[in-house]
Structure formats: C-alpha cells, structure tokens
Amino acid sequence: MYSRLTLAQTSQIILSVDNVSVSYGFVSALREVSLEILEGEFVALIGANGAGKSTLLETVLGIQRPKSGTISYMNQDITLKPTEWIVASGISLCPEGRGILPEMTILENLFLGAYHNRGRIDQSMSRIFEIFPILQQRRNQKAGTLSGGQQQILSIARALMARTKLFMLDEPSVGLAPMMVNDVLKIIKKLCDEGYTILLAEQNAKKALQFASRAYVFETGKIVIEGVSQELMKNELVIQAYLGV
Amino acid sequence: METFIAQLMNGLAVGSIYALLVTGFNLLLLVGGVIQYAYPHIVVISMYATWLALKVSGGNLLLSVSAPLVIATALSMATEPLFRPLTKRGATNHTFIMSIGIGMILTHVMAKHLHHGMPISFPENLASHKAAIQFGIAVISGPQMYTFFGTFIAVTAFVLLLYRTMGGHAFRAIAQSPFVARILGIPLGRMAILSYGIAGLLGGVTAVFLAMALGSAYPALGNTLALKVIATVLFAGVGNLGGGLICGLILGTAESLTTGYLPGQWSNAVSFGMIMVVVLFRPAGLFGIRT
C-alpha cells in the first residue's frame, strides 16, 4: 500500500455528517445524526442490528437520500451527489455480507474495483497480490468458492483497487470465526496506519472498541453516546448494553 | 441424406438468427432491466429500412447494411425513456406490457404506412439463393453461409465485449447484482442506456441476416419472431446468455428439420412442443434462470 499522509500533519475533517435524517417511507431510520471524521482516523459505529449504522453508510454513499441534513466530504457537499460520483472521489463501501460477485473470478472482482481507476490497474493489482498472496493463488477461482474471511479480504482488496481515501466497512465480522475476525481487523488497522481513513460499523462492540480510536453508539437511529474508545470501554451504559460476554 | 444436410444448414442459419435475437433480448433484460417484447419488431422495421436503402441507392450494399444498424440502434435507444419510469420503480413485469404496446405500434406503422402493408422482398444480390457449395443435389447457399458465419462473428464480438472490456464486466456485474455494481461506482442509468444501444446495434446486424435468409419481410413478422424469442428464452432459461445462444440454434435446427420432413405447420408444433416439455419438467429452462 502506498504510504500517504502521516498523522503528524494537521488532520482535516474528511467526512462531516450534519443533522441527517433518513426514512424508509414512514419508518424513521436515522434521526438528526451528526458526526465528524478526521483524515486518517479509525472511527467505529457500534449498536444493535437495525440501529441505523448501515443506513448511515449507505446514505454517505448516496444509495439512500436524507430527507434533511447535509453530508460533506473533503469540504464538498455530497448530499445529493450520485453514487458513482461519490465512489469516484474516494469513498468505498465494503457492504454487509462482503458484496463480492460470487459468479465472477477473484481477478474479475478486483478488475471491477478499478472501474474508476483504470489508469493504474496493473500496478494496483500487483500491489494487492503482494499484500494478499492468497488472492493471487486463487485469482482464477470463482469468488463464491472463497471462505467468509477470504471474501472479506477480497472486498477490502477490491476497494484498494480504486483511489479510495475513506474506507467504510459494514459488519466485516459477521459470520467469521473469532480468529478470522482478529485477522481482518488487524488488516483494517494496518490500512489506517498507512494513512487511510476508516469508518467501521460493527455489532461486535468489544472488537470494534479494541481497534478503533473513537466511536459513536447508535440506538434506534440516534447517536446516544460518543467518545474515545478507552472512555467508552469504561462507560457503565456501554458495558451493560454492548460489552457483555 | 441430402435433404437432411440442406435442412440442417438452413436450420443453423435460422437458428443463429434466433440466437442473435435472444442475445439482444437477454442483454436488455439483464442490464436494461426490461422485457422488450418489441425487440424483434425493431429488427423487422430495420429490415424495411434496408429495403428502402436498397431502392433509394440503387443497390448500394454499404448503405443498405448501415441503414438497419442506424435505425435499429436509434429506435432501441428511443424506447429507453418510455421504460424509464417503470424501471425506476422496479416494475419489470410492467415493461412487458409496455413493450407489447410498442410492438403493436410498430406493427401498425408497418401495416398501414410502409409499402401499403404489403410484404417487401429483397433483391437477388442481397438474398441470392445461388448455390455456394454443393454436395449432390444439396446446396448451401451464400446467404446461409453468410448468416451462420456472420452471426458467429457478431456473437464472438459481443462475448469479447462482455469478457474483455471494463464496460462488459460492468454489464455482467449489473446482471448479477445491481447493488454491488452500484457500490463499485458503476453508473446504472448510463449502463442501461448503453445496453439499449448495443442491443439495437445487434438488432441491426440481425436485420441484415434476416433479410438475406428470408428474402422478404412483412408487418406480422415482428410478432411471429417475438413469440419465438420469448419461447426460446423460456426454453433456455430467462436471462441465460450462453443458454440462449445454444437454444436458439437448437430450436432453429429443430424447426428446419421438421419443415423438411413433415408437412405444413408441424415445424411450429415441434418447436412449441419442445418448449412445453421443457417448461413442464424443468421450469427454469434447460440452462436455468439468471435474473
């Protein structure tokens, strides 16, 4: 991975969500949600299933439209921009369930990742294969034959094929064995160390707080608590609701 | 034996035309998200365009081959805004009804306004049935060969497009999962419009071969072909590109062989009969549905 800025530089706000509300018909999914992410940060969104984390990620990507509020990326208003524009400017989503194309080969999946980065396909591909040799070994196999953990790695690798600055990951730990969960999160942490910005939505609050530096806690569409991970791990309410064994 | 070979050759020619039609149809279904019943009607009107171009230019082949390509592509793309309100809300089944309507309009235009509704015929130099290859008293005519090999080239080009270009990969991604395609930043709307264009282009090519193979065209041809296309698609499995190609060939050959050995309308009975049997025992079609 190419090293970008280091955290020693003054970090600017890369993503700013301002009072965003989203509804599916009459059902309110997000209610006046605001958050801010600095470049190079590793931020987690924790909360139960259905609390609004996925909706927020999809809204940032332009798949859902907020009925009120604004979203800014790199100081530009992206609230009403089409998904292809948002992806082309550097936001990638690894959706819940990995979002890979099972009928296509690993190579084809990676190829598609470079849809908005066609000038650098060969270099990006060789770099990906260096970092993830398993993908090179299996490059002509159908992506559906991979295990859950390998698919998650493919999903991340595919996002790396684009000129991604902000990685959004939705529940990467779902369905993975605990050891695999650790491996995947370590990879994500490594991405952050290299300068990428990470926004991670996770049901597994324990793991999320272990790796992320900051977190927002979602409950029925609202942010109820936010703070630095160390603090949240000691917070009574968080422990009771989310950090139980 | 010679009848068999002659009919087989004819069947392959006819079958490859069905295969091309089915491919365009499947493309529109998989990437455009529409059931375009009127696709063959667009092809038939393009045949009229070929005929007109031949008349007007006095037999200029270049013009008469470009005319159907242009008309079919333009017509196909012109239907896109008609379908858009339906695809926007995911009403795929309603697009079938819309396309039947478009088919009716096109048939009407041909029946009332083009050549007084009388069949058009294509002159010798386009639809020459002079023997190209002979064995015994069986002949393979020029048009049959051109059709078969021409279709082969068109299909190969299309497959290369799908498997070797980024756009083609994007088409396949949309066909497999519009959601994943979207998060990769693939512009679904623009790709859908492009698929109308490519299907149209393919349709124009098909019109040329149809003109060669049939030697004539008439307003009701759109409906006749549309039924065959829908039936082939059900036979092969809806949306299955490869299956559609093979089944187009199978059905064309079956039809042709029947025409050679059984009288009258038995060819239709055989082809629709085969479809009935497949749909009864393998509802998803011979090769399975790919939505």
**Backbone dihedral region of A76: left (phi > 0), alpha (psi from -120 to 50 degrees) or beta?**
beta
Residue B211 has pLDDT above 60, yes or no: yes
- Calculate the average pLDDT of chain A: 90
Chain B residues with CB under 8 Å of A98 CB are: none
Tell me what the mean pLDDT of segment B150-169 comes to.
Answer: 90
pLDDT per position as a tens digit, A159-176: 999 989 999 999 999 989
Residue A189 has pLDDT above 90, yes or no: yes
- How far does the CA of residue B170 sit from the closest CA of chain A (Å)? 7
Chain B residues with CB under 8 Å of A88 CB are: 185
Q: What is the pLDDT of residue A3?
A: 39
**CA-closest candidate to residue B129, choices B212, B221, B47, B15:** B212
In chain B the beta strands, taken as DSSP E runs, fall at 120-121, 131-135, 138-141, 216-217
With an 8 Å Cβ cutoff, are A87 and B170 in contact? no
What is the band of B79 on the pLDDT scale with cuts at 50, 70, 90?
very high
Q: What is the pLDDT of residue B127?
A: 53
Nearest CB to B183; choose among A95, A103, A111: A95
What is the band of B271 on the pLDDT scale with cuts at 50, 70, 90?
confident
If you measure CA to CA, which chain A residue comes closest to B173? A101
Tell me what the mean pLDDT of segment A93-102 comes to.
Answer: 93
Residue A208 has pLDDT above 60, yes or no: yes
Percent of chain A whose pLDDT exceeds 70: 95
Nearest CB to A93; choose among B169, B183, B187: B183
Helix (H) or strand (E) holding A139: none
More confident residue, B80 or A1: B80
With an 8 Å Cβ cutoff, are B180 and A100 in contact? yes
- How far does the CA of residue B81 sit from the closest CA of chain A (Å)? 19
CA B232 to chain centre: 11
Q: What is the pLDDT of residue B290?
A: 61
Q: Which of A93-97, A199-203, B83-87, B134-138 shows the lowest per-residue confidence on average (mean pLDDT)?
A: B134-138
With an 8 Å Cβ cutoff, are B177 and A115 in contact? no
Q: Does B101 touch chain A (CB under 8 A)?
A: no
Chain B residues with CB under 8 Å of A108 CB are: 169
Is-contact A3 A191, C-beta < 8 A? no
Residue A6 has pLDDT above 50, yes or no: no
Percent of chain B whose pLDDT exceeds 90: 42
What is the band of A10 on the pLDDT scale with cuts at 50, 70, 90?
low
pLDDT per position as a tens digit, A31-71: 999 999 999 999 999 998 888 999 999 999 999 999 999 99
Rounded Cα gap, residues B6 and B213, in angstroms: 14
- How far does the CA of residue A88 sit from the closest CA of chain B (Å)? 7
Residue B141 has pLDDT above 90, yes or no: no
Most confident range (mean pLDDT) of A8-12, A49-53, A174-178, A215-219 is A215-219
Most confident range (mean pLDDT) of B35-39, B120-124, B251-255 is B35-39
Q: What is the pLDDT of residue B138?
A: 60
Extract the tokens encoding A243.
């950090």
**CA-closest candidate to residue B203, choices B16, B24, B14, B17:** B24
DSSP A8: T
Q: What is the pLDDT of residue B78?
A: 95
More confident residue, B225 or B134: B225
Residue B12 has pLDDT above 80, yes or no: yes
Write down the residue that tokens 């039924």 correspond to: B227
Three-state SS at A99? coil
Chain B residues with CB under 8 Å of A82 CB are: 187
With an 8 Å Cβ cutoff, are A104 and B184 in contact? no
If you measure CA to CA, which chain B residue comes closest to A89? B185
- Other C-beta atoms closer than 10 Å to the C-beta of B85 total 11
- Calculate the average pLDDT of chain B: 86
Write down the residue that tokens 């993908």 correspond to: A135
Nearest CB to A115; choose among B166, B172, B179: B166
The pTM (predicted TM-score) of the whole model is: 0.86
Helices (H), chain A: 53-61, 83-88, 106-113, 121-131, 133-137, 148-161, 178-193, 205-211, 229-234, 236-242
Q: Which of A56-65, A196-205, B170-179, B256-265 shows the lowest per-residue confidence on average (mean pLDDT)?
A: B256-265
Tell me what the mean pLDDT of segment B165-186 comes to.
Answer: 93
Percent of chain A whose pLDDT exceeds 90: 79
